[in-house]
Structure 1
Amino acid sequence: MLRDDLIGHFRHYAESIDAPVRTGADVTRIAPAEGGGFTVATTQGRWRARNVVLATGGYQTPKIPALSAQLPSHILQLHADSYRNPGQLPGGAVLIVGTGQSGGQIAEELLAVGRDIHLAVSTCPEAPRRYRGQDLLYWMMQLAQFGPDYGLNGLTVGQLPSPAARFACNPLVSGVDGGHDIHLRDLGRRGVRLHGHLEAADDGDLVFSDDLPERLGLVEAAFYQRMKPMFDSYIAATGMSAPEPEPPRKDDWLPSEPARLNLEAANITSVLWATGYRLDFSILDIPVLDEWNYPRHSRGVTEHPGLYAVGLPWLTGHGSSIVAGVGRDAEYIAQHIAGNIAGG
């Protein structure tokens, strides 16, 4: 579904239930009100609410590593959130930090116009854009929306290895020209200089981890270890007709870039931080956040009465932050609110 189609879908749904949607009302503060409920300050005035649902998603504020302050002042730095096209960047080489969807797609775009690119590889998994006859997102949405009907709930938040895993990046794929795979080794063959994780900037030098071969192996194996078994289980459980899976892609090509790189010698004039986002609940004047800046909750019900959260990464499971999966969490929260209202 294209962007404008999705917006139209939301607009039509809001109109169909006559939802009292206020647009252009930026919330600046949420605080407890005397006598219960909340005071909500917005750019369109102050409101009183019995219940508040935090539904601002997981992509609130661009995340830029602290080491950005160690780069020379003449280096242009942009977060992927602010990047629009290659014309924003000065001449010279570009360092892209991060290989999630933004990092990979920007690398392809810059490569297509002949830019010299260095790419710091993260741990975002590669994945085939199409699997067993369908788009990758088709299987993800099927599993999130209908998987529970077949006892396939995917991973739940309680199965994650650590709280940090809630913020892991999405699979490295592209939606350009109908969607296609992005393989880091292919980018390397085409001239992109691959490096490990950017660890430090030291007196005009960039220092990368020296684990790039192992890192590439983990990135390539992740889909087959985590996502493929879930998709195959769903296909088997539903009895759907689907082509047999293709064998894993084998590629032994290895880059040979140094772990230490001088910015001037490499003619790097700009750095693009494709490093994702962090949660930002600075509008919330209620102490319900944990050390990860994530609301403390049980199935979206926070420890403060009347305050809820929905649409956050891994609120309850892998589908909590996508359109196809958020409905289950939202339904539970709506029932909880309705029960409180009915109970007075």
Structure 2
Amino acid sequence: MSSQDTDVLIVGGGQAGIAMSEHLSAQGVPHLVLERARIGERWRSERWDSLVANGPAWHDRFPGREFSSCGPEEFPDKESVADYLVEVAAASAAPVRTGVEVTRVSKNLGGPGFRAETSAGEFTARSVVAATGPFQTPLIPGVIPASDPVTQVHSSGYKNPDQLPPGGVLVVGAGSSGVQIADELRRAGREVTLAVGPHDRPPRAYRSRDFVWWLGVLGKWDASAPPQGAEHVTIAVSGARGGHTVDFRDLAANGITLVGRAGAYADGVLSFDADLADNIRGGDENYLALLREADAYVERNGLDLPEEPEAHVLGPLPAEARTPIRSLNLAEAGITSVVWATGFGVDYGWLDLPALDERGRPLHQRGVSPEPGVYFLGLPWLSRRGSSFLWGVWHDAKYLADHIVTQRGYRAYAPEATVPTGAGRLSR
């Protein structure tokens, strides 16, 4: 086996690829990890400067691998997360080759497995793990023409308030990224408008336990599929400034103008749906439902956790929710920039194999594709709600590593001897 030939080729050196490597190394499976830039690159260069993890360090990590840069109750910043992945890779002696871009993976015609074309030449492997994660292609709705004078940037390209030209900012999207960026911009003195769509809104903490603990003991991290109609609902939660519960009432009170989902655009005017009140109420119900389940869990298990009756009391809806803003002339409103916190799409254009549907999305069951030897890792809801999180991808990687080891056993099987025809028959 040459240096360009291996049992398993892992494409991507982020949290998914490093987790996969750790499990394969533990089971003695030869493999290589190819990463187009640096380990954990997206954490370093495709996130804003002040980003911190949305879960505390005691939870959002690989089992048995603690953060060296912060305490267990702290929220590690983006550089600390990238450094953590580098440390894990070094500790497990992960065979990572950085600066190698994979441009095509196809069947290895005339030989077993697959052939990968890369910037460092060709590689061959019996199995391929696509570990490029869910944040591959920034999605910017084609609403505002690029020719318009307003500056447009996706959340993956936003770095800090100074990056944007003077003037007001419209942030579209009210998940974790959108609310944190909007809050940061407002604290920097910007006039901010935030377009709010449907979302989940858990408490940061309740009865002295972080929400990640509650989702764990209540079995919600292990949900195998999102509720019907909620496949793309975002989560409004923040670890910024030590962690706090996101409440759109607070954002409005701090001077952020709230609007509903962004709609059509024409002649400099952007319209908004009249759904702001419904979206806030939906998030409130998600929040209150978790509090009720937590209270029931405490009572059922006789836990001595402090009560928080005030957490159940919500203030009135912001004025914009009661009288929604249906349109804005961006120039007249002083809005010079739009930050699209509208999520990501996947790009498997390099995977030239029958493992994708007609829209280019992975076909798989728990990461195992219908094309034998091809696997996907790091995607949301790959096997459960926690699949795309740092700790969740580790468990999915263990499942795929076990699957690969089982398939290697089948390939290695050979009968010790050929049994003659009719052997073992009883004579009369």
Structure 2-normalised TM-score?
A: 0.71
Counterparts of residues 20-31 of structure 1 (less than 5 Å):
20-31=95-106
SS of aligned partner of 1:269: strand
* Partner Cα separation in structure 2 for residue 237 and residue 286 of structure 1: 51
> Shift of residue 257 of structure 1?
4.5
Partner in structure 2 of residue 265 of structure 1: 332
Which stretch of structure 1 is more off in the superposition, 282-291 or 74-83? 282-291
Counterpart check, 1:62 vs 2:150: no
Partner in structure 1 of residue 187 of structure 2: 112
User: Which residue of 149, 160, 164 corresponds with 1:85?
Assistant: 160
Contact 2:355 / 2:374 at 8 angstroms: preserved in 1?
no
Counterpart check, 1:283 vs 2:350: yes
Counterparts of residues 1-344 of structure 1 (less than 5 Å):
1=57, 2=76, 3-34=78-109, 35-69=111-145, 73-140=148-215, 142-143=216-217, 154-157=222-225, 160-161=227-228, 165-169=230-234, 171-225=235-289, 227-228=290-291, 241-244=304-307, 246=309, 247-253=311-317, 254-255=319-320, 256-290=323-357, 293-344=360-411
* Partner Cα separation in structure 2 for residue 48 and residue 123 of structure 1: 45
1:49-87 residue CA offsets vs partner (Å, 9 max, x unmatched): 100111111111111112133x76211101111111111
Partner in structure 1 of residue 19 of structure 2: none
> Shift of residue 104 of structure 1?
0.8
Structure with the larger RCO, 1 or 2 (CA within 8 Å, 6+ apart): 1
Contact 2:221 / 2:386 at 8 angstroms: preserved in 1?
no
SS of aligned partner of 2:96: coil
| Structure 1 stretches lacking a partner, 5+ long | none
> Shift of residue 237 of structure 1?
8.1
The one-letter code of the counterpart of 1:276 is G
Which stretch of structure 1 is more off in the superposition, 245-254 or 258-267? 245-254
* Partner Cα separation in structure 1 for residue 359 and residue 130 of structure 2: 16
The one-letter code of the counterpart of 1:340 is Q
Name the CA shift for 1:193/1:6 in 2 (closer, same or farther; >3 Å). Answer: closer
Structure 1-normalised TM-score?
A: 0.87
Contact 1:98 / 1:274 at 8 angstroms: preserved in 2?
yes
Contact 1:143 / 1:231 at 8 angstroms: preserved in 2?
no
| Structure 2 stretches lacking a partner, 5+ long | 1-56, 58-75, 412-428
SS of aligned partner of 2:270: strand
Contact 2:197 / 2:276 at 8 angstroms: preserved in 1?
no
Name the CA shift for 1:191/1:200 in 2 (closer, same or farther; >3 Å). Answer: same
The one-letter code of the counterpart of 1:287 is P
Name the CA shift for 1:153/1:8 in 2 (closer, same or farther; >3 Å). Answer: closer
Which stretch of structure 1 is more off in the superposition, 307-316 or 9-18? 9-18
> Shift of residue 174 of structure 1?
2.1
Name the CA shift for 1:7/1:83 in 2 (closer, same or farther; >3 Å). Answer: closer
Which structure's CA Rg is the greater one?
2
Which stretch of structure 1 is more off in the superposition, 269-278 or 242-251? 242-251
> Shift of residue 117 of structure 1?
1.2
Contact 1:156 / 1:317 at 8 angstroms: preserved in 2?
yes
> Shift of residue 160 of structure 1?
3.5
Which stretch of structure 1 is more off in the superposition, 52-61 or 288-297? 288-297
> Shift of residue 298 of structure 1?
1.6
Name the CA shift for 1:106/1:302 in 2 (closer, same or farther; >3 Å). Answer: same
* Partner Cα separation in structure 2 for residue 182 and residue 291 of structure 1: 38
Which stretch of structure 1 is more off in the superposition, 289-298 or 306-315? 289-298
Name the CA shift for 1:44/1:217 in 2 (closer, same or farther; >3 Å). Answer: same
**Total equivalences in the alignment:** 331
* Partner Cα separation in structure 2 for residue 76 and residue 6 of structure 1: 30
The one-letter code of the counterpart of 2:394 is G
Contact 1:154 / 1:230 at 8 angstroms: preserved in 2?
no
Contact 1:143 / 1:154 at 8 angstroms: preserved in 2?
no
1:162-203 residue CA offsets vs partner (Å, 9 max, x unmatched): 5xx44432x212222211122112211222111110011022
SS of aligned partner of 1:40: strand
* Partner Cα separation in structure 2 for residue 310 and residue 343 of structure 1: 22
Contact 1:166 / 1:314 at 8 angstroms: preserved in 2?
no
